[in-house]
Amino acid sequence: MTRLLLTIQYVGTAYHGWQVQPNGVTVQERLQDAIEKVTGVRSGVIGCSRTDAGVHAKMFCCTLDTEYPLQGEKMAKALNAHLPKDIAVYKVREVAPDFHPRYQAVGKTYTYCIWNGKHRNPFYEDRALFISKTLDEGVMDKAAKGFCGTHDYKAFCSAGSDVEDTVRTVSECSVKREGDLVTVTVTANGFLYNMVRILVGTLLDIEAGRLPSDAIKQALDTTKRQDLGATAPPMGLYLEKVYY
Amino acid sequence: MTRLLLTIQYVGTAYHGWQVQPNGVTVQERLQDAIEKVTGVRSGVIGCSRTDAGVHAKMFCCTLDTEYPLQGEKMAKALNAHLPKDIAVYKVREVAPDFHPRYQAVGKTYTYCIWNGKHRNPFYEDRALFISKTLDEGVMDKAAKGFCGTHDYKAFCSAGSDVEDTVRTVSECSVKREGDLVTVTVTANGFLYNMVRILVGTLLDIEAGRLPSDAIKQALDTTKRQDLGATAPPMGLYLEKVYY
């Protein structure tokens, strides 16, 4: 038995997130379908995280235990021939038999894209949040800096999560504009449920003056979810990188 | 009656091109539907060119004659509320009553995108041609330079076109790489039917050694379509800019 680390990309629009679930098609299910077609065996894969419905991944890692002899480029090609158009494997490599894609990840980067033109852009439909009112990305970037450091991020965790330790270290949090595209980038050693989407909703509220400029700092102190903004919708969110 | 110039964008994947036709939904039809919903009147629109099925536009111009009082930003917003997700108006301005969006265009820029990674990229599915063998963009760029100038481009025109004058002036033709994305950019005072797609097919054949490096120059002399490569598929083609 060999443990393979598969690195994949997907446009999440058509999926109910990564993880297999009773109602709705998921990325994990489609990947397991393709693996079965290639290897002839139904095998489970373990992911580096869960992504929600509509969230995208430019880099997502998962492991597969298989006795099938194909590896590397050839295995990636074989799987891609059986995957739907919106999912693709771009790297396959062998890892140690005890390698775990979630526990061994030392960090991840997420980005959140906002199409900030006057009118909606068909090329960013389902791939960015559309906001027509011009955003001051400088104000957002300044507020984002308050998100960095080692803190208890409990306030930035949606209900329904059973995680006990909510302390994380955020090493990068910035907001940049390129033309009409505003991108929020967050790198941390780990993320709580909806952490980036609550951050983005909060940054938008701070920019609009609906929340005070130090709302993030305050919520890190109070650890209260209600001190923050709404959870931003999923279509702007991308799992950008996983670090091992 | 006021003549409005609408500037729109569309992802062409779902459409049988711009122009209304008996079989298959087109961008023009969907736009006319939206105009009817906003103004209450069924009006025709005249486009700056025809695009084929599956071809995209980041800038496409068309005129609408209407007595409806809305203009500018407000008209764009009203139309966008009734257009499907893959089409959007981003500019509306009044033009002279004799303004013609095709005859008055002094030039256009098309781009053609090739995803040149080892594996297919879900984010470029239907938005770029996928070629896994690494392309030498330097060879392609050098060959592309031979496309510039004022020539009879008859060889670069698909059968079925009834255009008589096939002389055009190409002011820019280049091939550039950004990571795994290779982009062909062509600017001319006018384009023949499938001109860019035949050029791209030819550049790919020259790069692969299936055609001699001076194939473009030769075909401009012979004016024979058969001296060139295949017509590249539509999904990589973008109408990028229209100049007035």
pLDDT of residue B116: 98
| Domain CATH number, residue A146 | 3.30.70.660
pLDDT given at position A85:
97
What radius of gyration do chain A's Cα atoms show?
19
Task: Tell me what the pLDDT averaged over chain B comes to.
Answer: 96
pLDDT (average), residues A213-217: 96
What integer is the mean pLDDT of A213-236?
Answer: 96
CA distance, residue A125 to nearest chain B CA (Å): 7
**Residue at which a domain ends, from A66, A95, A124:** A95
> Which pLDDT score is estimated for B103?
95
pLDDT of residue A164: 87
Residue B134 lies in a domain: yes
Q: Which residue of B has its CA nearest to A9?
A: B122
Answer whether residue B161 shows pLDDT above 80: no
Which residues in chain A have their CB less than 8 angstroms from residue B127's CB? Answer: 123
Average pLDDT, stretch B167-185? 98
Same-domain check for residues A158 and A85:
no
CB contact (8 A) between residue A119 and residue B10 = no
Over residues B38-63, the pLDDT tens digits come to: 999 999 999 999 889 999 999 999 99
- Among candidates A68, A62, A25, A33, which has minimal Cα distance to A46? A62
Query: What pLDDT is attached to residue B164?
Result: 87
B77: closest CA of chain A, how far (Å): 7
CB B214 within 8 A of CB B146: yes
Q: Is the pLDDT of residue A160 over 80?
A: no
| B135-139: average pLDDT | 98
Residue A46 — very low, low, confident or very high, per pLDDT cuts 50/70/90?
A: very high
Asked if residue A162 has pLDDT above 90, the reply is no
Q: Is B93 on the interface with A (CB under 8 A)?
A: no
pLDDT bracket for residue A163 (50, 70, 90): confident
Mean pLDDT, chain A, whole residue set: 96
* Domain, as residue range, for A81: 2-95
Is A217 inside any structural domain? yes
The answer for A12, left when phi > 0, alpha when psi is -120 to 50, beta otherwise, is alpha
- Judged against a pLDDT cut of 90, whether residue A23 lies above it is answered with no
CA distances from A20 to A29, A30, A39, A53, A67 (A): 6, 9, 20, 11, 23
Q: What angle do CA B48, B53, B59 make, to 5 degrees?
A: 35
Give the percent of chain B with pLDDT over 90.
Answer: 95
What local confidence, expressed as pLDDT, does residue A159 receive? 83
Strand partners, B243: B107
**Is residue A136 annotated as a catalytic residue, yes or no?**
no
Pairing label, strands B181-188, B237-243: unpaired
Q: What is the residue-wise DSSP string for A19-87?
A: S--SSS--HHHHHHHHHHHHHSS---EEESS---TT-EEEEEEEEEEE-----HHHHHHHHHTTS-TTE
C-alpha to C-alpha distance for B135 and B117, rounded to whole angstroms: 10
Residue B52 included in any domain? yes
Closest CB to A85: pick one of B10, B117, B125: B125
pLDDT band, residue A28 (cuts 50/70/90): very high
Residue B182: per-residue pLDDT: 98
Contact B123 A77 (CB under 8 A): no
Inside any domain, residue B101 = no
Do B9 and A80 lie within an 8 Å CB cutoff?
no
> Considering A53, A71, A95, which residue would you say is the last residue of a domain?
A95
| Averaged pLDDT for residues B12-40 | 96
Mean pLDDT, rounded, for A105-112: 98
Verify whether the Cβ–Cβ distance A119 to B87 is below 8 Å.
no
Report the pLDDT averaged over residues A179-194. Answer: 97
Which of B41, B65, B95 lies at the terminal end of a domain, its last residue?
B95
Query: What pLDDT was estimated at residue A139?
Result: 98
Task: List the Cα angle A36/B180/A11 in 5-degree steps.
Answer: 45
Residues A213 and A136 in one domain: yes
**What Rg do the C-alpha atoms of chain B give, in angstroms?**
19
DSSP H/E element including B196: helix B195-207
> How confident is the model over B217-234, as a mean pLDDT?
95
Q: Are the C-beta atoms of residues A186 and A110 closer than 8 Å to each other? A: yes
Asked if residue A161 has pLDDT above 80, the reply is: no
Residues in B closer than 8 angstroms to A77, CB to CB, are 119
Query: Do both B59 and B132 map to the same domain?
Result: no
B115 and B59: one domain? no
